[in-house]
Amino acid sequence: MSNLIIGTCGHIDHGKTALIKALNGFEGDSTKEEQERGITIDLSFSNITQDDDNIAFIDVPGHEKLVKNMIAGAFSFDCVLIVVSAVEGIKPQTVEHLEILDLLGVKNAVLVITKKDLIDEQELEQRLLEVEEFISRYDFDLKASMGVSIYDDISIEDLKERLFSLDASTKIEENFFRYYVDRVFSAKGAGTIVTGTVLGRPITVKEKVFICDIQKESKIKNLQVHGVDAEMANISNRTAINLSNVDAKNIRRGSVISKKGYIRGFDSIDISFTALQEKTLHHNRHYSVYIGSRKIDAKVLLYDSEDALTKGFASIKSDEDIFSIYGEKLIIREGDFTVAGGVVLNPVSDPMKKSQKLRLLEALQDKDMSKAYSILLSAHKRGLGLISSAQRFALSHQEALNKAKELVACFVDEKALVIYPITTKEIIYDNIKSIYTKNQFALLSNASIRLRLKWASEGLVELVLYALVDEGFLVKDGNLYKNADIEEDFISSLELVMLKRLEEEGIAPTAPYNVYDDLDIDRKMGDEILRALCSKKQVIRLQHNLFIHASSLSGLVHGMRDIIKKEGYIDIRTFKENYPLSRKYLIAYLDYLDNFSEIKKQDNKRVFVE
């Protein structure tokens, strides 16, 4: 089944809602207030089918005070039904709606002159020419234009056939599912239900989704497409989603639902913008920003001016996170007036110099991703992650990798999805060489090096280690690397180093992992060395992370016996008075006394057996 979303636009009382009712019998003005006032206040959704084709209608309000509601529906239009009264012609809200749709990049349009029964044929022809000429000022692809009357069934059927013959689907499959909520409610026996338009990828029942604004995962209990239960909802389907394990109170119009891990929110995004004729966007001024079905109060900071511009680059800064993707359109308004339209170029906040950011935005505007990568790499000297490429560049991981491979002087780790400037290799090279130069008995693995250099990927570290082996500086032994100049028994030498370290630490030994890191020993190897020392009784293990040199423990036990002889017992208080250790050590050593038959525990004290 093909799916098409057609939205209405036009001035109040030009017959948008009546036209939809004539096409499919749906009464859009369903609320008490709408019926009492005789106007559309919020969005209404309906559909009509013919064979395997489906058209979803989004009817928008035409009142100047309700433009925000119009924008909330317009972002998902595949085609717009420009509705103009035959009697009144182009009016102010017709103009503003057309300006907004033009800024949002809606191309496909059908012109309908309503109420044709109120004028004669000659006047209708003149009105059609007049409105077509006006529409030509904008970047619309006018698919058809005609006059109709809701009292003329032939004209309505003619319009219906023209709509079903349209080739106007604009939504393409993206790298992940996205969905802006336009309505949310709780239904008895079902729970939380949201409505919106499926973007990016289809979804299915029982699939897991992620509500970005509240950072919560949920499962789809049920799907309805145009009021009918469905196992799957495709792109451009107007869809109701029944969500599990989430409270309707925590979701609002504009909330973004997606898949976990694909889209992150930032309180700052960068855009290119174009202001409407005779309008300017001011630097450091607060505006209302409309993106998808969401309204955000934000400050606009211009990149090229501290005053005002008609077009250029700007940063949108908000107190709330914005979940957007590269290429997404938005509208900027001030009060009741539309000021400009924008395109999201950088949906990911990067700490960059202004000069770098400007060059990045120019590259992104030109869709020169190779240049954008190079600029980002100059700011991310320790690696640029491609895991966010779907959001940042609207590229799949494979597409992002293919672009990265076109770059020179960089290393692309395909497994980790990270690009590194080639200079990063030198940083790791110097770091590893310094470790083995200072400590000839260093014995590290790729994993243990990455614990120190958390930004370095396994592939990049491996590349450097292989280079050091090729140079003859290191020798690979299993998954460990040792100094090539040491010919003696490494393990025996390391046991002596470890034993000496524990002896020096006395009765307050460091946790094993800290010892391994200080001695530049791989953690797995360090565990094996400690086990060997314990089996030889040179080191005693008292707890999971407490290993003490045998002579140190023997001396301490002798001192603890002296306390019992002097005080008649030993407990934490008397022990600490003589040995100012932390409670962790005091309890462990007191527990160790329980291994001696001549000492017994009475309450919290240890005494000699009489």
Does the pLDDT at position 4 exceed 90?
no
Query: What pLDDT score was predicted for residue 138?
Result: 92
List for the chain the helix, strand, coil content (%; round to 5): 35, 30, 30
**515-565 pLDDT, tens digit each:** 888 888 889 889 999 999 999 999 999 988 899 999 999 999 999 999 999
Query: What pLDDT score was predicted for residue 43?
Result: 66
Q: Which range among 3-7, 88-92, 458-462 has the greatest average pLDDT? A: 458-462
Query: What pLDDT score was predicted for residue 86?
Result: 92
From the list 604, 462, 449, the residue with the least C-alpha distance to 517 is 449
**Taking residues 591-608, what's their average pLDDT?**
90
Furthest CA-CA distance within the chain: 123
Q: Which fold has domain 2-164?
A: Rossmann fold (3.40.50)
What's the CA gap between 374 and 280, in Å, rounded?
33
Residue 316: phi and psi, rounded to 5, are -105, 115
Residue 465 has a CB neighbour count (10 Å cut-off) of: 21
Query: What pLDDT score was predicted for residue 42?
Result: 45
Query: What pLDDT score was predicted for residue 300?
Result: 97
Is residue 209 within 8 Å of residue 217, measured between CB atoms? yes
Mean pLDDT of the chain: 89
Sign of CA dihedral 210, 220, 184, 38: positive
Does the pLDDT at position 80 exceed 70?
yes
Question: 266-275 and 238-243: which strand pairing?
Answer: unpaired
Task: Please tell me what DSSP assigns to residue 335.
Answer: T
Residue with tokens 């209990």: 221
Is residue 98 within 8 Å of residue 82, measured between CB atoms? yes
| Residue type (1 letter), 511 | A
Question: 266-275 and 337-346: which strand pairing?
Answer: antiparallel
Q: Model's pTM, two decimal places?
A: 0.79
Does the pLDDT at position 276 exceed 70?
yes
Q: Where are the domains of the chain?
A: 2-164, 178-258, 266-346, 352-487, 490-608
Query: What pLDDT score was predicted for residue 168?
Result: 67
Topology alike, domains 178-258 and 266-346? yes
Q: Which CATH number fits domain 178-258: 2.40.50.140, 2.40.30.10, 1.10.357.10, 3.40.50.620?
A: 2.40.30.10
Is residue 344 within 8 Å of residue 271, measured between CB atoms? yes
Is residue 276 within 8 Å of residue 340, measured between CB atoms? yes
Six token digits for residue 464: 């450097």
> DSSP secondary structure string, 197-256?
EEESS-EETT-EEEEGGGTEEEEEEEEEETTEEESEE-TT-EEEEEESS--GGG--TT-E
* Least confidently predicted of 6-20, 48-62, 200-214, 348-362: 48-62
Question: 178-187 and 256-258: which strand pairing?
Answer: antiparallel
What's the CA gap between 345 and 592, in Å, rounded?
64
| Residue type (1 letter), 144 | A
What's the CA gap between 217 and 244, in Å, rounded?
9
Does the pLDDT at position 609 exceed 90?
no
Residue with tokens 């017992």: 569
pLDDT range class, residue 12, cuts 50, 70, 90: confident
Is residue 558 within 8 Å of residue 552, measured between CB atoms? no
Query: What pLDDT score was predicted for residue 485?
Result: 84
What's the CA gap between 494 and 411, in Å, rounded?
35
3-state secondary structure 478-535: CCEEEECCCCCCHHHHHHHHHHHHHHHHCCCCCCHHHHHHHHCECHHHHHHHHHHHHH
Query: What pLDDT score was predicted for residue 66?
Result: 53
What's the CA gap between 507 and 509, in Å, rounded?
6
Query: What pLDDT score was predicted for residue 236?
Result: 85
Query: What pLDDT score was predicted for residue 302?
Result: 96
pLDDT range class, residue 346, cuts 50, 70, 90: very high
Does the pLDDT at position 441 exceed 90?
no
Residue 464 has a CB neighbour count (10 Å cut-off) of: 23
Which three-class secondary structure state does DSSP give residue 154? helix
What's the CA gap between 541 and 592, in Å, rounded?
10
What's the CA gap between 284 and 289, in Å, rounded?
14
Residue 335 has a CB neighbour count (10 Å cut-off) of: 7
Overall size of the chain counted in residues: 610
Q: Which residues face 541 on adjacent strands? A: 547
Does the pLDDT at position 189 exceed 70?
yes
What's the CA gap between 281 and 274, in Å, rounded?
9
What's the CA gap between 313 and 306, in Å, rounded?
12
**146-175 pLDDT, tens digit each:** 999 999 999 999 999 999 998 867 677 888
CATH class of 266-346: mainly beta
Is residue 238 within 8 Å of residue 224, measured between CB atoms? no
**Taking residues 230-235, what's their average pLDDT?**
92
pLDDT range class, residue 250, cuts 50, 70, 90: very high
> DSSP secondary structure string, 362-406?
HHHHTT-HHHHHHHHHHH-TT-EE-TTHHHHHS--HHHHHHHHTT
What's the CA gap between 247 and 194, in Å, rounded?
11
**288-298 pLDDT, tens digit each:** 999 999 999 99
**Taking residues 436-450, what's their average pLDDT?**
90
**Taking residues 365-389, what's their average pLDDT?**
91
**114-142 pLDDT, tens digit each:** 999 999 999 999 999 999 999 999 999 99
Residue 555 has a CB neighbour count (10 Å cut-off) of: 13
Q: Which residues face 288 on adjacent strands? A: 297, 333
**Taking residues 266-286, what's their average pLDDT?**
95
What's the CA gap between 218 and 208, in Å, rounded?
6
Chain CA centroid to CA 429, Å: 33
Sign of CA dihedral 354, 389, 344, 300: negative
Output the CATH code of domain 490-608: 1.10.10.10
The better pLDDT of the pair 118, 42 is held by: 118
**Taking residues 48-66, what's their average pLDDT?**
75
Is residue 148 within 8 Å of residue 156, measured between CB atoms? yes
What's the CA gap between 380 and 420, in Å, rounded?
8
Q: Left (φ > 0), alpha (ψ -120 to 50) or beta: where does 38 sit? A: left
Query: What pLDDT score was predicted for residue 141?
Result: 93
Query: What pLDDT score was predicted for residue 228?
Result: 86
Sign of CA dihedral 574, 580, 583, 588: negative
